[in-house]
Amino acid sequence: MTIAQIHQLFLKYPTVCTDTRKITKNCIFFALKGDNFNGNSYAEDAIKKGAAYAIIDDEKFATSNKFIVVKDVLHTLQQVGKLHRHHCSARVIGLTGSNGKTTTKELLKAVIQKKYNTIATIGNLNNHIGVPLTLLSIQEDTEIAIVEMGANHLEEIEFLCNLAQPDYGYITNFGKAHLEGFGSTEGVIQGKSELYNYLIANNKHIFLNADDPIQENKLGNYIKKTGFSTSNEHDFKIEFVGADPFVTLNLRGTRITSNLIGSYNFTNCCAAIVMGIYFNIELPKIKEAIEGYTPQNNRSQLLEHKGYKIILDAYNANPTSMAAALDNFKAMKDKHKIVFLGDMFELGNSAVEEHQNIAELAAKMNFSATFLIGENFSKTKTTALKLTTLNDLKFYLKEHPIQPLSTLLIKGSRGMSLERILELV
């Protein structure tokens, strides 16, 4: 069966599933493989649970005409997604960057859906599987699709652009993320810039943070771009009012106060606002969207817990976002501030140096207490308290409880699951 034929089947049964635990009636099951599983072996179960068809790439699992055998299930999913992107008339906005992708995507979705029928990447499903799944969620009446693109090595964004073929694009920033895969900060810039390369090559529109010299230099004299800045030199001048704790900004006499902590979220808000204006959404509606968005899933959340004020930013971490979080926490006016930092992953050969840099940065800020948690942080040279595991922290806090009314910053990579600290304090 050809890609076009499978796409026609999808139009008749327009729900895709890759997990038999989430089968819905008359969906199409794509039997993807992973390091520890073979989706082909689950295909029959998918049919029994109500899937209309199962796409497999091992013919020995085909026991009826409900099984469609292809050469490679993942490639088929990607190509069906690409074909569907052009079958529908939705305009596609591509987002990438080292930090802030998902927050920007959620803010942008809140803004754009004030006027347009909008879909966006669910959660952080932004890789070679997530992007085609997002494309397949575009419906006939979808007007704008926001597609988040993640990468941890070169040529990945290029590949995802080839699938999504965005009409517009925005790069949040270039930071020290996924250094293990990209090899260096220069590799990060090269990899993320693959979105720019695609958009320029295809004469598409670019949005940019014009205060970022890397973005300015990359785009040069490219005409089809809209920039925002804190200066008067670009399309939109947006004033940063403050972030203690919530980001507040001013545009054209309109003051907007978000529910996002951290000055690092200023540009995320700006990008969503500027794109909203570009798509002819009225500023009062944009203000309503930004002010109505509340972060979730351990992303820059401000919580009250057991008498403590807690900044929970435990979804992810890299040296750039870690330094930004510390700078913001230092600027807050709270008196008794305590920091819990967890290991940063995927730094490769830079891990020792980058963890030491963050340990030294935290030490200079003279917080009331600093806890460094994880194998990498435990190897740093610092006066801060170093703990290899959260279990070690648990025993320490039993003997040395946190002072009441303290303000806590909790920041670490997803694999550290630092949200568990809420159970310990």
CATH number of the domain where residue 171 is located:
3.40.1190.10
Q: Answer yes or no: do 128 and 100 share one domain.
A: yes
Q: Answer yes or no: do 157 and 246 share one domain.
A: yes
pLDDT digits (tens, 9 = 90+) for 7-40: 999 999 999 999 999 999 999 999 999 888 899 9
pTM: 0.86
Q: Answer yes or no: do 168 and 234 share one domain.
A: yes
pLDDT digits (tens, 9 = 90+) for 349-374: 899 999 999 999 999 999 999 999 99
Look at residue 180 and tell me whether its pLDDT is greater than 70: no
Is residue 398 classed exposed, middle or buried when 0-12, 13-18 and 19+ CB atoms within 10 A define those classes? Answer: exposed
Cα gap 120→109, rounded to integer Å: 7
The residue among 54, 76, 98 that closes a domain is 76
Is residue 103 classed exposed, middle or buried when 0-12, 13-18 and 19+ CB atoms within 10 A define those classes? Answer: buried
119 bridge partner residues: 145
Q: What burial letters (b/e) apply to 382-397, b meaning 16+ CB within 10 Å?
A: bebebbbebeebeeee
Q: Answer yes or no: do 225 and 156 share one domain.
A: yes
Span 371-394, average pLDDT: 94
Look at residue 143 and tell me whether its pLDDT is greater than 90: yes
How far, in Å, are 117, 140, 201, 326 from residue 259 at the CA level? Answer: 24, 33, 37, 19
The pLDDT of residue 98: 85
Q: Answer yes or no: do 171 and 307 share one domain.
A: no
Least confident of 161-175, 231-245, 326-340, 357-371: 231-245
The pLDDT of residue 399: 92
| Cβ proximity of 419 and 312 under 8 Å | yes
How far, in Å, are 133, 149, 150, 190, 383 from residue 194 at the CA level? Answer: 21, 11, 12, 7, 42
Q: Which of 64, 66, 71, 38 is nearest to 54 (CA)?
A: 66
Q: Answer yes or no: do 142 and 224 share one domain.
A: yes
Q: 119 lies in which domain range? A: 88-292
Q: Establish if 23 belongs to a structural domain.
A: yes
Q: Which of 354-357's residues contact partners 24+ apart within 8 Å by CB, and which partners? A: 354/176, 354/179, 354/319, 355/379, 355/380, 356/380, 356/381, 356/382, 357/319
Q: Establish if 82 belongs to a structural domain.
A: no
> What is the secondary structure of 211-269 as a DSSP string?
T-HHHHHHHTT-SSEEEEESSSSSSEE-EEEEESSEEEEEETTEEEEEEEESGGGHHHH
The residue among 234, 269, 292 that closes a domain is 292
Q: Establish if 155 belongs to a structural domain.
A: yes
Q: Which of 51, 42, 135, 140 is nearest to 93 (CA)?
A: 135
pLDDT digits (tens, 9 = 90+) for 211-237: 998 888 888 889 999 999 998 767 899
Find the CATH number of the domain harbouring 14.
3.40.1390.10
Q: How many helices (H) and strands (E) does the chain have?
A: 15, 20
Look at residue 423 and tell me whether its pLDDT is greater than 70: yes
Domain count, the chain: 3
3-state secondary structure of 368: coil
Q: Which of 218, 215, 151 is nearest to 180 (CA)?
A: 151
Cα gap 274→157, rounded to integer Å: 23
The pLDDT of residue 221: 86
Is residue 182 classed exposed, middle or buried when 0-12, 13-18 and 19+ CB atoms within 10 A define those classes? Answer: buried
Q: Answer yes or no: do 405 and 371 share one domain.
A: yes
Q: Establish if 71 belongs to a structural domain.
A: yes
pLDDT, the chain, mean: 92
Q: Establish if 83 belongs to a structural domain.
A: no
Residue matched to tokens 């952080």: 124
Q: How confident is the model at residue 300 (pLDDT cuts 50, 70, 90)?
A: confident
| Cβ proximity of 420 and 390 under 8 Å | yes
Give percent above pLDDT 70 in the chain: 98
Q: Answer yes or no: do 283 and 219 share one domain.
A: yes
The residue among 53, 76, 99 that closes a domain is 76
Cα gap 271→208, rounded to integer Å: 8
| Cβ proximity of 13 and 26 under 8 Å | yes
Cα gap 51→64, rounded to integer Å: 13
Span 45-74, average pLDDT: 95
Span 195-211, average pLDDT: 95
Q: Establish if 311 belongs to a structural domain.
A: yes
| Cβ proximity of 259 and 238 under 8 Å | no
Span 299-307, average pLDDT: 86
Q: Answer yes or no: do 193 and 261 share one domain.
A: yes
| Sign of the torsion angle spanned by Cα atoms 236, 263, 100, 323 | positive
How far, in Å, are 98, 152, 179, 350 from residue 187 at the CA level? Answer: 12, 10, 8, 13
Q: How confident is the model at residue 181 (pLDDT cuts 50, 70, 90)?
A: low
Peptide bond into 245 cis (omega under 30): yes
Q: Answer yes or no: do 105 and 172 share one domain.
A: yes
Q: Establish if 338 belongs to a structural domain.
A: yes
3-state secondary structure of 388: coil
The pLDDT of residue 177: 65
Span 244-265, average pLDDT: 92
Q: How confident is the model at residue 182 (pLDDT cuts 50, 70, 90)?
A: confident
The pLDDT of residue 254: 96
Q: Answer yes or no: do 400 and 272 share one domain.
A: no
Q: Answer yes or no: do 193 and 308 share one domain.
A: no
**Pairing mode of beta strands 407-411, 337-342:** parallel
Find the CATH number of the domain harbouring 346.
3.90.190.20
Q: Which of 210, 219, 325 is nearest to 271 (CA)?
A: 210
> What is the secondary structure of 117-135 as a DSSP string?
-EEE--TT--STTHHHHHH
> What is the secondary structure of 308-359 as a DSSP string?
EEEEEE-S---HHHHHHHHHHHHHS--SSEEEEEEPPPS-GGGHHHHHHHHH
Q: Establish if 367 belongs to a structural domain.
A: yes
**What are residue 259's phi and psi, to 5 degrees?**
-105, 20
Q: How confident is the model at residue 184 (pLDDT cuts 50, 70, 90)?
A: confident
